[in-house]
Copies of this chain bind each other. A is one copy, B any other.
Amino acid sequence: MQIFHTISETRAFVRQARARGRVIGLVPTMGYLHEGHLELMRRAKSQCDMVIASIFVNPTQFGPTEDFGRYPRDLERDAAMAESVGVAAIFNPPVEEMYPQGYCTYVDVERITDKLCGLSRPGHFRGVATVVTKLFNIVQPDYAYFGQKDAQQALVIKRMTADLNMDLEVVIVPTVREQDGLAMSSRNLYLEPEQRHAALVLSRGLERARKALREGERNPAEIRQLVIDMIQAEPLAEPDYVELYSYPGLEPLERIEGLTLLALAVKIGRTRLIDNAILEV
């Protein structure tokens, strides 16, 4: 497996593969890989001749008070994991390779970014859309893989790809969970043991909503309150948002029918975790 730190090396490598007719898959990550990332890479490997993973903690998607500085980084560990699932190359640029001095171009996806994480984290999706556009242009993949755990991000990237006529297919891969239900996230590393236990309120909240739905509840406000109550019953957890929207349009709902996104963000100490479920009635 190759590790590239520059755009030009990565481009040269991909260009050669493309000239040989290879189908190329891209898995953009911020590194500190877990089973969720490996699942994206396995899925890519099953669909493409060659898989490139990017590992880049992207500063433009972090707010000024967020965890850019302490976000975990371990390239050696990541490289071994990526190699074990057949990744051909890692693109791991320094920040100044992606955002050289004078950089000033950003991609904005409007409307679907004015709620959920877009509301809690102003500028977050602008940073995501911008870096993903850059990665797409550098690697020019046939397929790109993202996790359903970041449900709004997946919608933003699909919307951007369609709106800007990017010539690739975006594949969304189901969330991978720990045995006890916690969605895999590099940020789970931040959790102390008792916080790790408290973090189960996220997946349990989703389960609570599913149960209410099975029992016939169709009022989004009622379901929202059930989930909020559950989170607030956990002393170490504080809800950031719990929201239900139509899926994939992210329109407000009077009543649950058709596909509905239940998305939640919860703070456990300084750590903010997200999870979601797509409810089907």
Report the copy number of this chain in the oligomer.
2
Distance in angstroms between the alpha carbons of A217 and B75 in the assembled complex: 57
> How many whole Å from A182's CB to the nearest CB in chain B?
33
Contact of A105 among B11, B104, B163 (CB under 8 A): B163
Contact of A104 among B106, B140, B163, B166 (CB under 8 A): B163
For A129, the chain B residues whose CB sits under 8 A away are 105
**Residue pair A134, B104 in contact (C-beta under 8 Å):** no
For A106, the chain B residues whose CB sits under 8 A away are 107-108, 110
For A111, the chain B residues whose CB sits under 8 A away are 104
A107 and B110 in contact, given A164-B137, A165-B137, A167-B140 (Cβ under 8 angstroms): no
Which of A134, A137, A159, A165 counts the most B-chain CB atoms under 10 A from its CB? A165
For A165, the chain B residues whose CB sits under 8 A away are 7, 134, 137-138
For A163, the chain B residues whose CB sits under 8 A away are 103-105, 134
**Residue pair A134, B7 in contact (C-beta under 8 Å):** no
For A103, the chain B residues whose CB sits under 8 A away are 163
Whether A133 is near chain B, meaning CB under 8 Å from some CB there, is yes
Whether A160 is near chain B, meaning CB under 8 Å from some CB there, is yes
**Residue pair B134, A164 in contact (C-beta under 8 Å):** yes
**Residue pair A105, B7 in contact (C-beta under 8 Å):** no
A107 and B104 in contact, given A164-B134, A165-B137, A167-B140 (Cβ under 8 angstroms): no
For A107, the chain B residues whose CB sits under 8 A away are 105-108, 164
20 sampled A-B residue pairs with Cβ under 8 A: A7-B165, A104-B109, A104-B111, A104-B112, A104-B163, A105-B107, A105-B109, A105-B110, A105-B159, A105-B163, A105-B164, A107-B107, A107-B164, A108-B108, A133-B164, A134-B163, A134-B164, A134-B165, A137-B164, A137-B165
**Which residues in chain A, 99-154, are within 8 Å of chain B measured between CB atoms?**
103-112, 129-130, 133-134, 137-138, 140
Distance in angstroms between the alpha carbons of A163 and B7 in the assembled complex: 12
Distance in angstroms between the alpha carbons of A252 and B216 in the assembled complex: 66
Distance in angstroms between the alpha carbons of A165 and B137 in the assembled complex: 6
**Residue pair B160, A105 in contact (C-beta under 8 Å):** yes
> How many whole Å from A67's CB to the nearest CB in chain B?
25
For A105, the chain B residues whose CB sits under 8 A away are 107-110, 129, 159-160, 163-164
Distance in angstroms between the alpha carbons of A7 and B159 in the assembled complex: 17
For A7, the chain B residues whose CB sits under 8 A away are 165
> How many whole Å from A187's CB to the nearest CB in chain B?
27
Residue of B nearest to A109 (CB): B105
For A167, the chain B residues whose CB sits under 8 A away are 11, 137, 140
